[in-house]
Amino acid sequence: MGRTVAGGGQAVPPGPGNGGDARTWSAGADRYKAMSLEEIAADARLRTIQVVAWRDHGDPEAGGSELHAHRILSAWSNAGIDVCMTTSSVEDQPHFMAREGYQITRRVGRYSIFPRTMLSGFLGHLGRSDGLVEIWNGMPFLSPLWARCPRVVFLHHVHAEMWKMVLPRGLAEVGYEFEHRVAPPFYRRTRIITLSSSSRDEIVEQLRLPASNITICPPGVEPGFSPGATRSPTPLVVAVGRLVPVKRFDLVIEAAVRVKPRHPDLRLVIAGEGYERPALEEQIRRAGAEDWISLPGFVDDDALLELYRTAWLVASSSLREGWGMTVTEAGACGTPAVASRISGHMDAVRDGTSGILFDDTDGMVAALDEVLGDAALRERLGAGALAYSSEFSWEATARQTLAELAAEAVRKRG
């Protein structure tokens, strides 16, 4: 059962895996801590940067990884850097476009993007650049084999059992072996940028990459997220994300159904879209919960802000996260979290201070029950969530990631 925190209990002190030192810098990037984006780029001579990624922010299946890249690349572009992203094609969307200053080239299909990009890299068809960012989202592009310029890799988390959740048997095993066995040896001398200390530990343990080459750079929080005037008058739990197996929204629904008898006015809203919708709708129907559990689909920024502000808590039962941006987004609105104790969440949530981490479904039920039933605990956790979320900004994230690439550029020049 997951640990819960009584309203008058002691807050768990910050430390490794519990919201301790959230940010690290490599030795070479240290020199850039006080510089602006423009100054970093000028010092390292980073005029053009290539980015290779599986999906971009405009993809119908885009999630936190794509938002993370979008915020960073738009900040770099606004600082005068010529940024071009190469990614997979999207039906009914242009092959070439600009988004907030940076260029996007959608080349080929969802899976052929990997061999085609590698081949283009070998042949020099991606164009000249002063730096390269590879976004390793499960399947890597093997940039160490073909990239001639300074480079860094964004690796948010290990996919592990996610392969079996999204691919048929056979392909799932191939994906797992490639991620865990084939690819890592090529990246042993590569600067890896991940989101949290717990994700770094997971990368070191499972992919056997050197900890000394891994930099921790947490994501930012949108500046528009802030506390509102009033909470919902009745208990409201909000969960946000793509409706896909790894998010395990079925556990959120199960836990809410078990808690409902003790909180008769409880409502649950799961905001997001994805191919798991029919299964979740059927689960809600079988539980007879259509009148208090809703799946509104994708919601715009204003509606999401309203959900965060009025919710009594935000819930996440995800199996894999590099961080858990919905947790700190809600925290910026003064809303505490009840989240699974996984890599990423263990840094995004200060357990007992900004929310409660749980280990299994029984633990989630206990945590929901306690937070919903204790106004003083909700107020304390909400204040902790607001204070913790204030430590993160996209400007800081953009500067640190550019500093790491700049350090590689300086090192490569000798």
Nearest C-alpha neighbor of 86 from the set 123, 61, 55, 119: 55
Buried b (16+ CB within 10 A) or exposed e, 206-217: bbebeeebbbbb
Long-range contacts made by residues 99-108, C-beta under 8 angstroms, separation at least 24? 99/56, 99/57, 99/58, 99/70, 99/74, 100/70, 100/74, 101/74, 101/77, 102/73, 102/74, 102/76, 102/77, 104/56, 104/58, 106/56
Q: Note down the domain range covering 241.
A: 236-389
Q: Is residue 18 part of a domain?
A: no
CA distance 258 to 38: 53
| Residue 226 token pair | 């802030």
**Over 50: is that where the pLDDT of 8 sits?**
no
Cβ–Cβ under 8 Å, residues 290 and 309: no
Q: Is residue 8 part of a domain?
A: no
124-150 average pLDDT score = 93
What are the E-state strand segments in 176-250? 192-194, 214-216, 236-240
Burial class from Cβ neighbours inside 10 Å (0-12, 13-18, 19+) for residue 127 reads: exposed
**Over 90: is that where the pLDDT of 413 sits?**
no
| Residue 132 token pair | 């390269």
Residues 328 and 201 in one domain: no
Q: Is residue 2 part of a domain?
A: no
DSSP code per residue over 64-113: HHHHHHHHHHHHHHHTT-EEEEEE---TTS-SEEEETTEEEEE-S-TTTH
**Over 80: is that where the pLDDT of 16 sits?**
no
> Is residue 14 very low, low, confident or very high in pLDDT (cuts 50, 70, 90)?
very low
Cβ–Cβ under 8 Å, residues 39 and 401: no
Cβ–Cβ under 8 Å, residues 76 and 49: yes
Residues 241 and 344 in one domain: yes
Q: Between β-strands 102-106 and 96-99, what pairing exists: parallel, antiparallel or unpaired?
A: antiparallel
> Is residue 111 very low, low, confident or very high in pLDDT (cuts 50, 70, 90)?
confident
Residues 316 and 184 in one domain: no
**Over 80: is that where the pLDDT of 361 sits?**
yes
Residues 139 and 197 in one domain: yes
Q: Does residue 13 or residue 42 have the better pLDDT?
A: 42
Q: Mean pLDDT check: name the lowest of 16-20, 113-117, 305-309, 350-354.
A: 16-20
Residues 254 and 131 in one domain: no
162-166 average pLDDT score = 76
φ, ψ of residue 20 to 5 degrees: the values are: -80, -135
CATH code, 357? 3.40.50.2000
Residue 21's pLDDT is what?
Answer: 57
Residues 354 and 381 in one domain: yes
Q: Is residue 14 part of a domain?
A: no
Residues 295 and 170 in one domain: no
Q: Does residue 205 or residue 166 have the better pLDDT?
A: 205
Q: Is residue 12 part of a domain?
A: no
pLDDT tens-place string over residues 382-411: 999 999 999 999 999 999 999 999 999 999
Q: pLDDT above 70 covers what percent of the chain?
A: 95
Q: Is residue 153 part of a domain?
A: yes
Residue 15's pLDDT is what?
Answer: 38
SS3 341: coil
Q: Is residue 20 part of a domain?
A: no
What is the average pLDDT value for the chain, to the nearest integer?
91
Chain centroid to Cα 217, Å, comes to 11
Domain count, the chain: 2
Q: Which residue in this structure is represented by tokens 């409880």?
A: 266
Q: Mean pLDDT check: name the lowest of 89-93, 298-302, 303-307, 336-340.
A: 89-93
Q: pLDDT above 90 covers what percent of the chain?
A: 79
Residues 186 and 263 in one domain: no
Q: Is residue 51 part of a domain?
A: yes
pLDDT tens-place string over residues 39-82: 999 999 999 999 999 999 988 888 889 999 999 999 999 999 99
| Residue 18 token pair | 């519990």
**Over 80: is that where the pLDDT of 7 sits?**
no
Q: Is 248 left (phi over 0), alpha (psi -120 to 50) or beta?
A: left
CA distance 144 to 405: 14
pLDDT tens-place string over residues 278-326: 999 999 999 999 999 999 999 999 999 999 999 999 999 999 898 999 9
Element (H, E) at 134: strand 131-135
Residues 252 and 182 in one domain: no
Residue 372's pLDDT is what?
Answer: 98
pTM: 0.89
Residues 371 and 401 in one domain: no
SS3 253: helix
Residues 130 and 269 in one domain: no
Chain centroid to Cα 152, Å, comes to 18
Residue 1's pLDDT is what?
Answer: 35
> Is residue 10 very low, low, confident or very high in pLDDT (cuts 50, 70, 90)?
very low
Q: Between β-strands 82-87 and 102-106, what pairing exists: parallel, antiparallel or unpaired?
A: parallel
22-38 average pLDDT score = 93
244-254 average pLDDT score = 95
Residue 63's pLDDT is what?
Answer: 83
Which residues 6+ apart lie within 8 Å of 265 measured at CB? 234, 235
Residues 68 and 196 in one domain: yes
